Amino acid sequence: MAQINPLVGDIHGNTALILEKSREAITRFQPDLVVFPELVLTAYPPEDLLLRPSLDVRIEKALAKICGAVLPTILVVGYPGREEGKLYNMLALIDHGKVVATYRKQRLPNYQVFDEKRYFKKGFAPLVHEISGIQVAFTICEDLWSPKAMAKASAAGARLMININGSPYSLGKVHRRTEVMRQRVTEGKMPLVYVNQVGGQDELLFDGASMAMNANGTVAVQARQYAEALVPVNISNEGDSISILQGQQEILLEKEAELYQALVLGLRDYVNKNRFRGVVLGLSGGIDSALTLAIAVDALGSDRVHAVMMPFQYTAQMSMDDAQAQASNLGVNYRVIPIAPMYESFMQALAGEFAGMATDLTEQNLQARCRGVALMAISNKKGLLVLTTGNKSEMAVGYSTLYGDMAGGFDALKDVPKMLVYALAAYRNRIDSNPPGPIPQRVIERPPSAELAPGQVDEDNLPPYPELDRILELYIEQDESLEQIVSRGHDRSVVEKVIRLVDLNEYKRRQAPVGVRISERGFGRDRRYPITSGWKPGD
């Protein structure tokens, strides 16, 4: 099982990676078969790169190069292939340098983050090919989320199923996959080898966790999550019995570890694949920026992380002390840049425009925008990616400043609700080799505040975060109506306010940076609502 981290669109580089990993597998294991993930030549998802005129030529050259290597094994390679003028999501069996069989994906997902029907036509026929005396069936990802492909393969005489995947991560997805695959092997009465992509691609994260499962549903081989790996799978063929021998068994991570490592890998790959030197973020002394800093250091190393405290007259000394402590704990490049001179210059320039008008949110937003300007200037000068630090709860209700604290290129916490931010911060401290950990306990315990006005705390404007997060989960992730949410015991006026804020702030989210998707309804590819809309909440 070649669980690798390809780069979307880099067909030349992905081809080289396939050959490199194939040769390594041959040297280490002398395998009959090396299996790569879905669409590995383009990586998943290639999106509208599939519409580029040169796609077919590049794919043909890539396949020719792999065949030309004449490797002493069979390779299973996923790619976008055109046949009779139609584009398919395909795989090829390359046996000692020759394409001996191909397969077209039968089920094209078109929900959540998937839009394969935009690009591909679906196949219908199973592929069963004899390898080392075993009749082996081949399928691609979504094919096995329905019983039909397994049934077709079984009817065609298959005794082993190999399934290649570009299956993106969401919380708990690895366990749901395992249960679905367990249903398939039980129905098909045959073992399964399941190979998945690993790595970050914009907002999507692929967690790997490739596995091999016997016909009784037991997992005989389990690959790591979030890491590239070549994992041997030994298959026994004795009489009428095909079985997978017990092999490598990586322990699947618990919830908080799973989420934290997903955020680390998503951030690392976004920065590295886009060739940034490092990152810079505003360190406010609050929990969101504290957790983001820890994730950045774990992803990139402290030498590639720059943190900037940008105090104003409303910034508490506690915030400055805590920011300094965390920067010191993690050993990052740290600067303090007061924003008062910038703010006053803006206010002087705008004095005529604001004459006779009362102070309001404008002045608060201007503070945030001064900080955004400073961070973007550092980004331009030093080639660093600006990390924003807003969490999903804030992004949902628009508790953020457009072109202020939303100014940046990547938001690791974009799909992480506030209460989960607290849990992840506590987790990061818990696993640190130097107790009590990098995030000061006071940061975790103090009431959250944007510190844009005297004595300001978030709950001046929002419901308590435990209640807010529950309402948001019901409305955004479970698509419940106002009436359904109220029937669960929530105050109608609070629910109405939250829903109004979510709907109203779609325009902000459209302009927000990308971030790691950890739920099945992240803001971005998953949830596409109109900005201009007359829709009213209710029945």
Q: Does the N-terminal peptide bond of residue 436 adopt cis geometry, omega within 30 degrees of 0?
A: yes
How many CB atoms sit inside 10 A of residue 348's CB? Answer: 9
> What sign has the CA pseudo-torsion 347, 353, 355, 361?
negative
Could you confirm whether 105 is annotated as catalytic?
Answer: yes
Tokens of residue 79, six digits: 């790619």
Catalytic site residue from 21, 116, 141, 414:
141
Is-catalytic flag, 370?
no
The SS3 assignment for 323 reads helix
Q: Which of these is catalytic: 21, 38, 142, 258? A: 38
Q: Tokens for 532?
A: 């201009």
Could you give the CA distance from residue 391 to residue 65 in angstroms, rounded to a whole number? 45
Nearest-angstrom CA–CA distance, 353 and 347 = 10
Q: How far apart are CA 98 and CA 92, in angstroms?
A: 10
Strands of the sheet with 86-95, listed across from one edge? 33-35, 74-83, 86-95, 98-104
- Per the CB < 8 A criterion, the answer to whether 79 and 59 are in contact is yes
Paired sense of beta strands 127-131 and 98-104, if any = unpaired
Contact assessment for residue 121 and residue 89, using Cβ atoms and an 8 Å cutoff:
no
Q: Which of 21, 60, 84, 105 is catalytic?
A: 105
Name the nearest CA neighbour of 192 among 157, 228, 225, 159.
159
Q: Which two tokens stand for residue 379?
A: 């980004």
Separation CA 23–CA 253 (nearest Å):
30
Angle, CA of 395, 397 and 403, to the nearest 5°: 50
β-pairing, 198-201 vs 192-196, is unpaired
471-477: Cβ within 8 A, 24+ apart: 471/495, 471/498, 472/392, 472/393, 472/396, 472/397, 472/417, 472/498, 472/502, 473/417, 475/499, 475/502, 476/396, 476/502, 476/521, 476/527, 477/519, 477/520, 477/521
DSSP SS3 for 204: strand
* Residue matched to tokens 């099982």: 1
* Catalytic sites, residue numbers: 38, 105, 141
